[in-house]
Amino acid sequence: MAYLDHAATTPMLPQALDAYVRTAQSLGNASSLHGSGRTARRTVEEARERIAEALAAKPGEVIFTGSGTEADNLAVKGIHWSRRADGRNRVVSTAIEHHAVADAVAWLGDHEKADVTELPVDAIGRIDMDAVTALLAERAAEITVITCMWANNEVGTLQPVAEIAALAQAHGIPVHTDAIQAVGHVPVDFAASGAAALTLSGHKLGGPTGTGALLLRRDVTAVPLLHGGGQEREIRSGTLDVPGIAALAEAVVHAVRTRETESERLALLRDDLVARIRGAVPDAVYNGDPEHRLPGNAHLSFPGCEGDALLMLLDAAGVECATGSACSAGIAQPSHVLLAMGADPDDARSSLRFTLGWPTTKADVDALVAAIPEAVRRAKTAGLS
């Protein structure tokens, strides 16, 4: 099986798995005061320090969560709630956010009566900076938080997070960035970005599923989603998953340390994949920014095909990929990301996302290239029947 869906989840790195198993064999709640508890606490704090160093943050800024989705919700809702006063009630998002952010923002609008503004993107999925400037000029005093992803999970386009954060800082507005697809794949420097909050997820970079983290500047407040023991700066209560945290730190450190060489390797494989697919299927359309994008992301539309049909045909041929965000798989509707980029609904439904990861080899690309012509032919035939 050629697995080309690493943006949905990627296998645990051997180093992370070893760290998990080794730590899971020890007893101890990190909130306990006895010896076993102190040992567990030491593991957590060492992991916090390692993640902070890898991402140019301070240890006290690292808050552990149970997933990237939880971290996104905590950042967006928590910061909004903490700043909702003196006429501030506007949440600013973008038209291409992951559902973990988009649905959290929509919930604030529907249930908390927040005013919501969605920033548009251009045809390659990049945020319109003129729209950002205009919005800040008109409504800066109303804004509680701006949330803008670092890299799009579907088409791979990188966003000008530092530019947006610099504009927002001039008005005292915190910026949150969902960097779940970016960490370990492109340079991520929390301090230099100017962001107030940044989220990451373990299973996107070789760590365990069910682990995540929110980097939150010490001068930024967030109302907690969970109430209980007051762990993690009293922002995220809950017994800490010590083995998961140890494995997450191992994955983050390894991914960041090897990022440059691994990203170069994946970019070469991706470019080969795109060139060979376009050679085999001449009307295939390459989506997203052709230059400023994630190294392992190849997102293509196949006119005249249904993406779901193509996915199943490829799956039957031994190639696994995605029609878009894994969190929206199975829903018969066009990608909101492609629609925001101006794609026709039919073209949006014809897209597939191929994402490469640390285990990906040329053999995986070869398998896709061998299978795609027949899959496209059959999908187009099915569409005509």
CB atoms within 10 A of CB 280: 16
Confidence label for 45 from pLDDT (cuts 50, 70 and 90): very high
Q: What is the mean pLDDT of the chain?
A: 96
**In this predicted model, what pLDDT tens digit does every residue of 172-218 receive, in sequence order?**
999 999 999 999 999 999 999 999 999 999 999 999 999 999 999 99
**In this predicted model, what pLDDT tens digit does every residue of 263-300 receive, in sequence order?**
999 999 999 999 999 999 999 999 999 999 999 999 99
Query: Any idea where the domains of the chain sit in the sequence?
Result: 2-9+259-384, 14-257
Structure tokens at 327: 């969190």
Section 323-341 average pLDDT: 75
Identify the pLDDT of residue 101: 98
Residue type, 140: A
Identify the pLDDT of residue 29: 97
Confidence label for 86 from pLDDT (cuts 50, 70 and 90): confident
Residues annotated as catalytic are 327
Structure tokens at 82: 């903490």
Residue (of 142, 137, 149) closest to 89 by Cα position: 142
Identify the pLDDT of residue 331: 55
Identify the pLDDT of residue 382: 82
Section 235-245 average pLDDT: 98
Identify the pLDDT of residue 85: 87
Identify the pLDDT of residue 329: 52
Characterize the bridge pairing of strands 197-201 and 115-119: unpaired
pTM for the whole structure: 0.96
Structure tokens at 134: 């205009």
Indicate if the pLDDT at residue 328 is higher than 80: no
Q: Topology of domain 14-257, per CATH?
A: Aspartate Aminotransferase; domain 2 (3.40.640)
Indicate if the pLDDT at residue 302 is higher than 80: yes
Start-end of H helices in 183-329: 190-193, 242-257, 259-280, 307-316
CATH 3.10.20.90 fits 2-9+259-384, yes or no: no
